Amino acid sequence: MPSRPLQAISLVCILIALCIATACGGGSGGSGGGGGGGGVPDFSISIRPATVVVGQGGSVSTTVSITAVNGFGSQVSVGLSGFPVNVTASPSSFTVTATSSQVVTFSAASNATLGVATVAVSGTSSQTTHSSNLTLGVDSVATGMHPPSRTRYLRTDAQWDYSFINFFPQRWIIYDSASKRFFANNTTQNRIDVFDATTELQVGEIAVPQPWLSDETSDHSIIYVGTFLGDL
């Protein structure tokens, strides 16, 4: 890969909007829609925590809650879908009343597919339906049991060239505090790798030709990426 001074590079603008919740391959949400205006009885659905990680052969729990709006008092039928392969939920469907909650336990088989999935949680009452998303990560036992103080190593197949030191320092990785995700420039693979800081797993990729250095706006809504070819 030839190196060239960034000062001699022409700029063309490509804006990458942050995928806060489904990135690049997936995102997370914790509170669902619902609200109802004008005094119409309605409900909202929420999940806490909205991001969980289960190890292969293990289990983890989260709580689904229904909140009444404008005097809503009916029952809500809740269903979950979108589990990773060989991961089950107990219960996967249930009925709750307004202002109540249900604990849901996810269990992963020893051969459950590793990665991150978005589990849809939908609640229906009469003709009204609201939903929310849960980010569910499946981790291997070997990496899932490391102590909190230890760094996890994730493979990206990125390549390093000593000539890059000529451009030091440069921002190879951007951490977005709003989405709690890392955006790492993988120059030789023509992509930006996206990692979730909570699950410590890769959640997506953004195709960008030879991404080189990055920065983001103060409101965390846009990431600017300068490429090795000279585009922005």
Q: In what order do the strands lie in the sheet with 42-48?
A: 42-48, 59-69, 101-108, 87-90
Block mean pLDDT (10 aa), the chain, length 232: 37 33 40 58 92 87 93 94 94 92 94 90 93 89 55 73 66 84 88 84 84 86 86 85
- pLDDT for 149 equals 58
Q: What is the pLDDT of residue 205?
A: 83
Interatomic CA distance for residues 187 and 208, integer angstroms:
9
What pLDDT is stored for residue 120 in this prediction? 95
Q: What is the pLDDT of residue 199?
A: 76
pLDDT of res. 169: 59
Structural domains for the chain? 6-23+147-227 (no CATH), 42-144 (2.60.40.3450)
Residue 94, pLDDT score? 96
pLDDT of res. 46: 93
Q: What pLDDT shows up at residue 19?
A: 35
pTM recorded for the entire structure:
0.54
DSSP annotation of 92: S
The Cα-based distances of 60 to 44, 87, 90, 103, 136 in angstroms read: 24, 11, 11, 10, 10
Give CA 42 to chain center in angstroms: 28
